[in-house]
Amino acid sequence: MDRTKMIQIMVSITLLGIAIAIFPRYNELVDMGNMNQAFSYSLTLGIIYFLFGILIELDRLLHNKTFEIRWGALIPSIIIIALVSIPTSRWILWFGVGFPYPYNPFVYPELKAIATVVAGILFVRGIKQ
- How far is it, in rounded angstroms, from Cα 104 to Cα 112? 11
E strands, the chain, in order: 68-69, 127-128
Number of domains present in the structure of the chain:
1
- At 100 the pLDDT is 66
pLDDT at position 116 is 94
Question: Would you state the pLDDT for residue 36?
Answer: 82
Cβ-Cβ contacts under 8 Å for 84 (sequence gap 6 or more): 46, 106, 112, 115, 116, 119
Q: What tens-digit pLDDT sequence spans the chain (129 residues)?
A: 788 888 888 999 999 999 999 988 988 888 888 878 888 888 899 999 999 999 998 887 777 777 788 888 899 999 999 988 887 777 777 777 766 666 777 777 888 899 999 999 999 988 876
Given a contact cutoff of 8 angstroms between Cβ atoms, the answer to whether 74 and 126 are in contact is yes
DSSP 63: T
What is the pTM (predicted TM-score) of this model?
0.83
What residue type is assigned to position 30 of the chain? V
Domain with 41, as residue range(s), is: 3-128
CA dist 56 and 106 (Å) reads 23
pLDDT confidence of residue 10 = 92
* pLDDT for the residue numbered 11: 92
